[in-house]
Structure 1
């Protein structure tokens, strides 16, 4: 029962924060709204750039691991073949 009360209170606080944010935005001047839009767009672009950078790094590391694994498999196969002969 306590968990449900906590979740309900948290939901109520979230709704209250949303209404407050909407009210604050509604009462901003056009210049302030434009400034806010600029900040949001800037943060969005930074997030996108960071995502692209991380994605590129992960792909590079994955390719390196694949190449290394293929080389190891090849080396092991060569050793097995050498032992058979």
Structure 2
């Protein structure tokens, strides 16, 4: 077993131990403590959802800006090519 595999195994073991400890703490918590934990998880979920929605909106806005810029540049280039073609033929 190489060093990388040992580190991966150790991280997995620590993650499992942390999960088991969290499960034990939740199972032995008072109803009030369980409610606090549920509220924290709910708040984290809400923040995650809001962050996702903000990122999605920014991506859409950026895409629209890029699309508009490309369309404008294409129209200008097309017009320039037409003008040059007219000069050459005229």
TM-score normalised over the length of structure 2? 0.86
- Where 2:58 maps in the other structure, the secondary structure is helix
Deviation, structure 1 residue 82:
0.4
TM-score normalised over the length of structure 1? 0.91
How far apart, CA to CA, are the structure 2 residues paired with 1:31 and 1:16?
A: 25
- Where 1:28 maps in the other structure, the secondary structure is coil
Deviation, structure 1 residue 18:
1.2
Can you give the 5+ residue segments of structure 1 that lack an aligned partner in the other structure? Answer: none
Can you give the 5+ residue segments of structure 2 that lack an aligned partner in the other structure? Answer: none
Q: CA RMSD in A?
A: 1.1
Deviation, structure 1 residue 10:
2.0
